[in-house]
């Protein structure tokens, strides 16, 4: 989970997205975004699909299975 959180935060910051904006796009709370980035929890499968589509990265990259976006 640590890699997921680090990569999510890195991409969010590269794209100048606030946690609140990402939360709005993912239809979740700011608190959930923060907890994902800290590696405390993981998003549901459905939300992971939303994330990769919105951020235009692969799930493998976000999950740390690949180093290719």
With a cut of 80, say whether residue 65 has pLDDT above it: yes
Burial profile 1-10: b = 16 or more Cβ within 10 angstroms, e = fewer: eeebbebbbe
Q: What's the token pair of residue 17? A: 């997205």
Determine the pLDDT at residue 40: 96
Residue 68 pLDDT grade (very low, low, confident, very high; cuts 50, 70, 90): confident
With a cut of 80, say whether residue 1 has pLDDT above it: no
Task: Output the CA–CA distances (angstroms, integers) from residue 53 to 5, 40, 62, in the order listed.
Answer: 17, 23, 12
Q: What is the pLDDT of residues 18-64, one digit of tens each?
A: 999 999 999 999 999 999 999 999 999 999 999 999 999 999 999 99
Determine the pLDDT at residue 19: 98
Q: Which CATH number is 2-62 given?
A: 1.10.260.40
Overall size of the chain counted in residues: 69
Per domain, the residue ranges of the chain are 2-62
């Amino acid at each position: 989970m640590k890699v997921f959180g680090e990569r999510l935060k890195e991409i969010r910051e590269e794209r100048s997205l606030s946690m609140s904006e990402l939360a709005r796009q993912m239809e979740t709370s700011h608190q959930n975004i923060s907890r994902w980035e800290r590696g405390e929890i993981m998003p549901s499968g459905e939300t992971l699909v939303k994330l990769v589509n919105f951020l235009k990265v692969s799930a493998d990259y976000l999950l740390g299975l690949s180093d290719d976006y």
